[in-house]
Amino acid sequence: MTLLPVTPPEADTSEIDARVAELNQSYRHHAAVAVLERALKDPAVGNVSLVSSFGAESVVLLHMVSVIAPGTPVLFIDTQMLFPETLEYQRTLADKLKLTDIRSIVAADAALALDDPDGTLHQFNTDACCALRKTVPLENALREFDAWITGRKRYQGSTRADINFFEVETPTRIKINPLAMWGREDLEEYMVENRLPRHPLVAKGYPSIGCAPCTSPVKPGEDPRAGRWRGAAKTECGIHFIGGKAVRGPIPTETDKDQVA
């Protein structure tokens, strides 16, 4: 299987590090809409796309983009293992919000035939399945962009607790998290005020929605992402990077690193 190359240790990220630090400093007191609006127009950010799963909370960013710049490219990763409800929701939102450049991103037929011909890869290697169906296709689609917008938020778990509005993803690409500081109550308020349609699975106990085989309902009191890869240490699909490497589990602390060393 062909996996994504990771950033080599010697890669020079000083220029993009400085640019991201300056962006975070400039926008540190801005609200989510202002961060998004300016990021879509700031030359220091570059050519931007929105990556959307059309999941439980996706409608917030999709609505913001539809108001600010409806022609923004929206990359929808269709793993071909999504819930039917997600596919229908994607069509509903595309029509309602009048987004004019939605691009469905899928794995190459040849890659699927080689690495997952019977569609069972997820049963014994979820990392490999995510790489095949999500990470590699998205990386290919992102090559033409300088930055991409995500819906990641601090409240979503330990791996996201310290994210900023802007992050370095690779030596040439930035990740933008306009909703980083939002909580669930902010999302709820925004959806109610703007009368936005909900993903139909939310009412059935799915606060975080991925592929059908790897997503289960969440019980009251559980972490919102507890239903993703339930029973496994895996917490991310791998489309998010730290230091050029795909995030597939909890991020080790400095103490953990010292103990491993």
pLDDT at 153: 83
Q: Is 2 inside any structural domain?
A: no
Q: Is 4 inside any structural domain?
A: no
Domain containing residue 46: CATH number: 3.40.50.620
Q: Is the pLDDT of residue 260 over 60?
A: no
pLDDT at 259: 30
145: enclosing H helix or E strand: none
pLDDT at 229: 79
Q: Is 7 inside any structural domain?
A: no
Strands 173-176 and 102-105: unpaired
Domain that holds residue 114: 14-260
Tokens of 22: 């300056």
Q: Is the pLDDT of residue 88 over 80?
A: yes
Mind telling me the catalytic residues?
Answer: 237
Q: Is 5 inside any structural domain?
A: no
Q: Is 8 inside any structural domain?
A: no
The residue type at 156: Q
Distance CA 77, CA 134 (A): 6
- Whether 79 and 134 have beta carbons less than 8 Å apart is answered as yes
Distance CA 106, CA 135 (A): 10
Residue-wise pLDDT for 31-56, tens only, equals 999 999 988 988 888 999 999 999 99
pTM for this one?
Answer: 0.81
